[in-house]
């Protein structure tokens, strides 16, 4: 049996496990863990232990529990409620305005978190409950969070762009700059789809009565936003000014949220214990999913599954644009359930000679590759950001998350087509700034 056939059977088994009602992380562990042991024998136990150890000791992933803890404290302290109330005073009578705020917040927080999975989990805990209480649709709210999480690796600073530039021997500065216009275009597309959906179905957002505030009320609203703004500066700004690493900024952000909660005086000691407990449980679930993704990538690498797919693509190299589509489909599909960094380590050496042979602009190609990778993470039924959000919001079912996820997947794919038809949207800034 070929490696591709084994891969297909594995995916069917994974779907069956999902439908059985087992927790998502158990589905991944059962399939991937048993596959490793069957394929590698006793050595598989060592691989399982190593994957868990790798996830637990990866510096970039230390931000995950810290940002989740920050979100738990922000939710329980009432900070998010204060922020939304202040925005209501300042933004005006735009229906569904908090969708746009959540989209922006997702993108801002995604850069320091280093992964959309941390952002989705944190906002699922902190932003989702107050928005639902105010009458916003849970599905569209989840979709906005997933869409915002996609923007983080595209708009600089982007950890994934730096890794791609290093592995593919492409200018990191060019790749970072190349993400600016695509990030802005995708942001406008996301805002546009939200506006269109709310106008088409007003029930998706509450018909909140807007009374024009006085100048004094606006000043008070701005003042109330200062504590939250300081937390965002600590969690994001310190990285931008090169004062702290991502993990240091995440720790300082959690500390700042704790200090703010003391000022609001809404949390009791038991609330802090519950926040820590919930953060630990959710972080463990997410890290187990990530460990399973690493194992899955190792299975594909050792069995030659990805190499076989790459060889299959190379057979069509006389058809330039067909090869491009196939090369984009591969990260799109595999990044639904495979660790992005692990996949890059395998695919980039395969793709690099093909790009030169097909005469594609490397900056343009790798930016398209990056966008395809990140959109795969929210693509049903396997997108692992969906499962992270499901773990953060247990009251929502997977079908409830799939529908809004597809909306933002299709919008992003439309953006990818636009960047393919108009490549200058990607390459203009890097050329202009040289």
Q: Are 394 and 348 in contact (CB under 8 A)?
A: no
Residues near 253 by beta carbon (within 8 Å), at least 6 away in sequence? 66, 67, 70, 112, 231, 234, 235
Q: Where are the domains of the chain?
A: 59-432
Predicted TM-score (pTM) of the model is: 0.67
Residues near 338 by beta carbon (within 8 Å), at least 6 away in sequence? 293, 296, 297, 300
Q: Are 191 and 103 in contact (CB under 8 A)?
A: yes
Identify the DSSP state of 339: -
Structure tokens at 33: 């863990």
Could you give phi then psi for residue 154, rounded to 5 degrees? Answer: -95, -50
pLDDT in tens, the chain (434 residues): 565 566 667 667 766 776 666 766 677 777 777 777 777 777 777 777 777 777 667 665 677 788 778 877 877 887 777 877 777 777 666 778 788 878 877 766 655 454 567 677 777 777 788 888 888 888 898 898 888 888 877 876 666 777 788 778 788 778 878 888 998 899 899 989 999 999 898 888 887 666 777 788 888 888 888 888 888 788 767 766 778 776 788 889 889 989 988 888 888 888 899 888 888 887 777 677 667 766 766 666 666 665 665 666 666 667 778 888 888 888 888 777 666 766 776 677 678 777 877 788 999 999 999 999 888 888 887 777 887 788 777 778 888 888 889 999 999 999 999 999 999 999 998 888 76
Instruction: Calculate ∠ Cα 192-193-198, nearest 5°.
Output: 100
Q: Are 337 and 293 in contact (CB under 8 A)?
A: yes
Question: Cα separation of 330 and 369, whole Å?
Answer: 9
Please, what sign has the CA dihedral across residues 304, 298, 341, 325?
Answer: positive
Identify the DSSP state of 213: P
Q: Are 366 and 327 in contact (CB under 8 A)?
A: no
Q: Are 117 and 55 in contact (CB under 8 A)?
A: no
CA nearest neighbour of 340 among 277, 189, 430, 348: 348
């Amino acid at each position: 049996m070929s490696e591709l056939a084994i891969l297909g059977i594995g995916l069917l088994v994974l779907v069956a496990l999902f439908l059985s009602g087992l927790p998502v992380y158990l589905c991944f562990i059962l399939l991937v863990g048993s596959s490793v042991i069957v394929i590698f024998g006793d050595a598989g136990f060592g691989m399982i232990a190593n994957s868990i150890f790798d996830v637990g000791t990866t510096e970039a992933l230390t931000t995950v529990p810290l940002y989740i803890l920050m979100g738990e404290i922000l939710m329980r302290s009432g900070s998010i409620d204060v922020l939304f109330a202040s925005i209501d005073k300042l933004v005006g009578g735009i229906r569904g305005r908090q969708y746009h705020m959540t989209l922006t917040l997702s993108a801002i927080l995604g850069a320091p978190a280093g992964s959309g999975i941390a952002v989705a989990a944190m906002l699922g805990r902190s932003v989702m409950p107050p928005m639902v209480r105010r009458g916003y649709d849970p599905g569209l709210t989840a979709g906005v969070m997933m869409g915002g999480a996609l923007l983080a690796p595209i708009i600089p600073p982007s950890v994934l762009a730096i890794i791609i530039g290093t592995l593919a021997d492409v200018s990191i500065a060019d790749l970072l700059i190349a993400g600016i216009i695509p990030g802005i275009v995708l942001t406008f597309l996301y805002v546009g789809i939200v506006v269109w959906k709310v106008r088409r179905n007003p029930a998706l957002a509450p018909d909140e009565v807007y009374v024009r505030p006085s100048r004094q009320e606006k000043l008070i609203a701005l003042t109330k936003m200062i504590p939250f703004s300081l937390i965002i500066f600590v969690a994001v700004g310190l990285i931008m000014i090169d004062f702290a690493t991502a993990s240091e900024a995440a720790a300082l952000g959690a500390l700042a949220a704790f200090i703010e909660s003391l000022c609001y005086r809404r949390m009791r000691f038991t609330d802090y214990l519950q926040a820590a407990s919930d953060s630990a449980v959710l972080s463990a679930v997410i890290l187990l999913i990530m460990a399973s993704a690493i194992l899955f990538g190792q299975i594909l690498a050792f069995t030659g599954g990805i190499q076989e797919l790459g060889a299959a693509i190379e057979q069509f190299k006389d058809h330039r644009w067909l090869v491009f589509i196939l090369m984009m489909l591969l990260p799109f599909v595999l990044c639904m359930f495979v660790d992005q960094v692990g996949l890059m380590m395998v695919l980039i050496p395969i793709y690099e000679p093909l790009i030169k042979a097909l005469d594609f602009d490397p900056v343009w190609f790798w930016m398209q590759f990056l966008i395809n990778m990140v959109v795969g993470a929210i693509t049903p039924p396997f997108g692992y950001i969906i499962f992270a959000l499901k773990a953060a919001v247990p009251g929502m079912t997977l079908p409830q998350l799939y529908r809004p996820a597809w909306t933002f997947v299709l919008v992003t794919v439309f953006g990818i087509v636009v960047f393919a038809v108009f490549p200058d949207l990607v390459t203009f800034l890097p050329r202009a700034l040289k």
